[in-house]
Amino acid sequence: MQIISFVFILLDSEAQCILFTYDNAGNRTQRKYDPVCILALTEGNGGDAAAKTDSVTIFARVAALGLQKTILYPNPATSQVAVRTTEFSEAAQVAVYNSAGYIVFTTGLTSDRIDILHLPPGLYVFLLTEQRGEQLISYKQKIIKQ
């Protein structure tokens, strides 16, 4: 039996892993979630003389796994960007940057939609921030405006 481990490393400050194990036929035999990811890629048989271990690292976004606290959608967008969040309140601020790095507009997070109809087509970075005491919480996502 060949074991191939796919380790998903989530690209944020809270590293987490999901480990998939497959048999020789390509069937997934195990899915394991690890909230604290310590990545150690090893070669060899893992103590089993009959098994050969290969490891592949795949980088993935938390959103694809349904674990993300904040997401902006659809992407690409035409007139509005919807905000789904459990991490920000209506006190949050939204700054939208163009591809040159300039702020094109700012708004409060007073609803679950941000109007972008007035923006020309292009790539934008949405930065959500909220001050909570001495802690600044932030989230950044790229959105394409068609």
Mark whether 140 and 78 lie in a shared domain: yes
Last residue of a domain, one of 65, 87, 119: 65
Report, as an integer, the average pLDDT of 24-28.
76
Tell me the DSSP string of 10-61: ESSSS--EEEEEE-TTS-EEEEEEESS-------B-TT-TT-EEEEEEEEE-
pLDDT score recorded for residue 96: 96
pLDDT score recorded for residue 33: 65
Mark whether 51 and 85 lie in a shared domain: no
Phi-psi region of 23 (alpha: psi -120 to 50; beta: other; left: phi over 0): beta
Mark whether 86 and 137 lie in a shared domain: yes
33: containing domain: 2-65
pLDDT score recorded for residue 18: 67
pLDDT score recorded for residue 53: 46
Q: Judging by beta carbons within 10 Å of its beta carbon (0-12, 13-18, 19+), is residue 94 exposed, middle or buried?
A: buried
Q: How many domains does the chain have?
A: 2
Q: Is the pLDDT of residue 83 over 90?
A: yes
Q: Is the pLDDT of residue 10 over 50?
A: no
Mark whether 49 and 99 lie in a shared domain: no
Banded model confidence at residue 38, pLDDT cuts 50, 70, 90: very low
Q: Is the pLDDT of residue 57 over 80?
A: no
